[in-house]
Structure 1
Amino acid sequence: MPKKYSDEMRERALRMVAEALPDHPNQMAAIRHVADLLGMNSETLRVWLRRSEVDAGTRPGVSTDAAEEIKRLRRENAELRRANEILKSASVFFAKELDRPTTK
């Protein structure tokens, strides 16, 4: 699915939220204000903010880089499991071929 917003737009929106925080009673009010200014969904902006906090280490959670690495390793692990199953099947097949008596 293509990205709806560019990375520059995301960074700009997050900067605007940081600048708007002192003028609002809570974080969600600042998020809603900035989202309205930019014409975007406030939930999108809230998710971006949470993700940036996790990536910065100010909020507990798995960072974006770590999540991508985990995803890559899981794919690789699944591929290696499939390869092992194929190799096991092949070794059983060839072992049967070697054990079969030859008729001449």
Structure 2
Amino acid sequence: MPKAFPPEFRRDVVAVARKGEAPLSQIAKDFGISESCLHRWLKIADVDDGIRPGVTSTESAELRELRKRNKLLEQENEILRRAAAFFAKEIAPK
């Protein structure tokens, strides 16, 4: 997988592209990225800036973390459920 570009670099490229002083293909070539990458960055920036609807980068990261936390809690809950069942058998009258 290619190394991700720093956020500052992305912001600078998007800012230059939004000025509209040159075609996107030329801007992408000048910065050494693909044109499709530039289009994707512009789309993400538009969502983050509220220009177009969608889930922002911040919301997406938060959602990812919440899903990870939820999975961990479900695993912990399952362990406790099994432990409770095990110990219930141990103390049950015979």
Which residue does the alignment assign to 1:51?
Answer: 44
Which residue does the alignment assign to 2:17?
Answer: 17
Which residue does the alignment assign to 1:33?
Answer: 26
Alpha-carbon distance in structure 1 between the residues aligned to 2:91 and 2:46: 61
Percent identical pairs in the alignment equals 34
Alignment RMSD: 1.7
Aligned residue pair count: 94
Q: Which stretches in structure 2 are left out of the alignment for 5+ residues?
A: none
Deviations 1:38-89 (A, max 9, x none): 2211111111110000001111110000001111111111111101110000
TM-score, normalised on structure 2?
A: 0.88
1:67 to 53, 60, 64: 60
Which residue does the alignment assign to 2:86?
Answer: 93
**4+ residue runs over 3 A deviation:** 1-4
Q: Which stretches in structure 1 are left out of the alignment for 5+ residues?
A: 25-29
